[in-house]
């Protein structure tokens, strides 16, 4: 049986333990038994190099402008619903794997739901429309708005993903670096 147990502050190790009672009674450390499988001790979050609020804002504004999150110059979309495979300027691959843009569906759904509910409540309070008028208005909004917001939700998802999981730059350079934890 493989168990994962904490060792120290935010460090984890993996070791193999036996399920037999007579072998579990042996309280030697996993390293002493030779069954220790070391796990890389990297910080769980990437340390950001030159990543300030200004740079985060710049990457997100590129998403709102439907531009590549890496270079800010390449266009994401060839048509209204068709995306380029890569950035024409810096060759960043937009769809990294199949199902990559499922998060964009969540962004689109959240934006549609929040606007529709807030609008329904605001119009109910201020305009006193009947329920059938409200349902007609916000039902049609809930159908049409996701079609309009489709491009923006994909672009924002790509920008958010680029913030947390950036693609490698040419030459092996990367915006983020991983630092090894000190063994203390």
Cα(38)–Cα(32) distance, rounded to whole angstroms?
Answer: 13
8 A C-beta contact, residue 55 and residue 129: no
Q: In the predicted model, what is the mean pLDDT of residues 155-163?
A: 91
Provide the pLDDT for residue 109: 97
Boundaries of every domain in the chain: 2-37, 50-170
What does pLDDT average to over the chain?
Answer: 75
Cα(89)–Cα(74) distance, rounded to whole angstroms?
Answer: 5
The model's pTM is 0.62
The region, left, alpha or beta by phi > 0 then psi within -120 to 50, assigned to residue 34 is left
User: CB neighbours of 18 closer than 8 A, spacing ≥ 6?
Assistant: 1, 24
Q: In the predicted model, what is the mean pLDDT of residues 16-29?
A: 51
Q: In the predicted model, what is the mean pLDDT of residues 152-179?
A: 71
Q: Is the pLDDT of residue 140 over 70?
A: yes
Provide the pLDDT for residue 158: 93
Q: Is the pLDDT of residue 164 over 60?
A: yes
Helix axes 102-126, 131-164, angle to 10 degrees: 140
* Total Cβ atoms within 10 A of residue 154: 25
pLDDT digits (tens, 9 = 90+) for 89-135: 888 888 888 999 999 999 999 999 999 999 999 999 999 889 999 99
Residue 62 binned pLDDT confidence (cut-offs 50, 70, 90) = very high
């Amino acid at each position: 049986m493989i168990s994962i147990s904490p060792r120290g502050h935010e460090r984890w190790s993996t070791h193999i333990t036996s399920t037999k009672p007579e072998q579990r009674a042996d309280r030697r450390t996993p390293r002493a038994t030779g069954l220790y499988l070391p796990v890389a001790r990297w910080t769980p979050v990437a340390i950001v190099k030159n990543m300030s609020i200004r740079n985060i804002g710049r990457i997100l504004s590129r998403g709102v402008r439907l531009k590549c999150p890496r270079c800010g110059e390449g266009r994401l979309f060839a048509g209204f619903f068709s995306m380029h495979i890569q950035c024409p300027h810096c060759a960043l691959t937009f769809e990294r794997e199949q199902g990559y843009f499922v998060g964009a569906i969540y962004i689109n759904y959240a934006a549609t739901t929040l606007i529709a509910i807030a609008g329904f409540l605001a119009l109910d309070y201020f305009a006193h429309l009947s329920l059938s008028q409200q349902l007609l208005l916000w039902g049609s909004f809930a159908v049409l708005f996701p079609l309009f917001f489709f491009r923006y939700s994909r672009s924002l998802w790509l920008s958010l993903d680029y913030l947390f999981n950036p693609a490698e730059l040419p030459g092996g350079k990367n915006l983020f670096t991983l630092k090894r934890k000190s063994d203390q």
